[in-house]
Amino acid sequence: MIYLDNSATSFPKPKEVYDFMDNFYRVHGVSPGRAGYDAGIETGELLTDTRRLLSQLFNGGAKVDERRLTFSYNATDSLNILIQGLAQKGSHVITTMLEHNSVLRPLYCLEQQGIIEVTYLPFDEAGYVHPDDFKKAIKPNTKMVVCTQCSNVIGTVQPIKEIGKVCQENGLIFVVDGSQGAGAVEMNMIDYGVSAYAFTGHKCLMGPTGIGGSYVSEGVEVRQTRFGGTGVRSAVRTHLDEYPYRLEAGTMNMLGISGLYRGVKWITEKGIQNIHDQEMKLWKRLVDGVRNVEGVTVYCATPVENQNPVLALNVRGFEAMDVGTMLDVDYDIACRTGLQCAPLVHERLGTLPIDGTVRLSVGAFNTEEEIDTCINAIKEIAALKN
């Protein structure tokens, strides 16, 4: 199988990740922080080490309070915790048409309940939202901005630093969805003025599914929306206020955290920029190979800078789903078709009425030969009706 669905989940994972997860769980498959025996203490140490690795990764290597790095199921879970825990009744929230449903649906739910009002900013023809548009959208009751770091449909990396500056100048909470950005492109929450950053482990961080989390900056307090055991101060009737317990309840997914730990180690050992450059080299090869094919429409995909290796396209005469089926059955190429859980992107692109696009997303283990096979497959499919 030629796997070009890395925006959904990176696959395969590095061998080091599989091996570390297996070895760790066989020896340390116990609860962290719940007991004083050796295996429990060592499990807790890995938990702390993973918090520290991720905290420094998201804050430009700075030594920050790793306790403010909390774990969840995935980015969707963390975005729900953050959005619901930060939204203020009667306030106005600014977001974009680039967002995934992990942002859109929590906001829409709060909007339907009459708790907040929301403005959805459009993106330009190249796929970017301009910082000035955020500034123009601010109202007297604006309290929060929620924005994706990278689009999961067209791969554009948004100007987070400039948007963060607008938020800082106007006293706004700035929540960033790092689902597609964490481990792929730079994030420095301190320099970028980011209040809270949500991430998932199973994409560019090379971890398994079922693990994610968020980092909440100093001075930003998220209301608690879940309660339970923390392993400490059990006699206290209310859930603990301090981080990380504030946003965590119950036993941690230590198998997932172990894989995430080794995945982060792997990408930092290889060099995140080195991985990204190699992926973008393949992405450019793919774009150049299909852009001028008769009957093929490529969406955005103009600059190599500020871009993730994600390509959205359609083939005239075919529905996206049919192209995906042919790529799978006839060429053994795995991709994603449809709306990719981001309906407003397709509304803006004009692809909503035709049920979306074909999305091809390059990963760390793809090769030039695989990209060339995909290019030839698209050409052959397009030739059937053009």
Neighbour tally for 208: CB within 10 Å: 21
Instruction: List all residues 6 or more positions away from 254 whose beta carbon is below 8 Å from its beta carbon.
Output: 24, 25, 28, 29, 30, 31, 32, 43, 46, 47
Q: What is the mean pLDDT of residues 334-350?
A: 98
Instruction: List all residues 6 or more positions away from 232 whose beta carbon is below 8 Å from its beta carbon.
Output: 33, 240, 245
User: What band does 40 get if pLDDT is binned at 50, 70 and 90?
Assistant: confident
HEC string for 337-349: EECCCCHHHHHHH
DSSP 48-59: HHHHHHHHHHHB
Phi, then psi, of 359 in degrees rounded to 5: -110, 125
Task: Please determine, for residue 373, whether its predicted confidence score (pLDDT) is greater than 80.
Answer: yes
CA atoms within 13 A on the CB side of 242: 6
Task: Please determine, for residue 230, whether its predicted confidence score (pLDDT) is greater than 80.
Answer: no
Q: Please report how the helices 75-86 and 101-112 are oriented relative to each other, as an axis angle in degrees rounded to 10.
A: 30
Q: What is the pLDDT of residue 36?
A: 78
Looking at per-residue pLDDT, the higher value among 129 and 385 belongs to 129
Q: What is the mean pLDDT of residues 98-127?
A: 98
Q: What is the mean pLDDT of residues 142-160?
A: 98
Q: What is the pLDDT of residue 233?
A: 80
pTM of the model: 0.96
As a whole number of angstroms, the distance between CA 175 and CA 148 comes to: 9
For residue 346, what are its two tokens?
């397709």
Task: Please determine, for residue 259, whether its predicted confidence score (pLDDT) is greater than 80.
Answer: yes
Q: What is the pLDDT of residue 270?
A: 97
Q: Quote the mean pLDDT of the chain.
A: 96
Are 43 and 231 in contact by the 8 Å Cβ rule? The answer is no
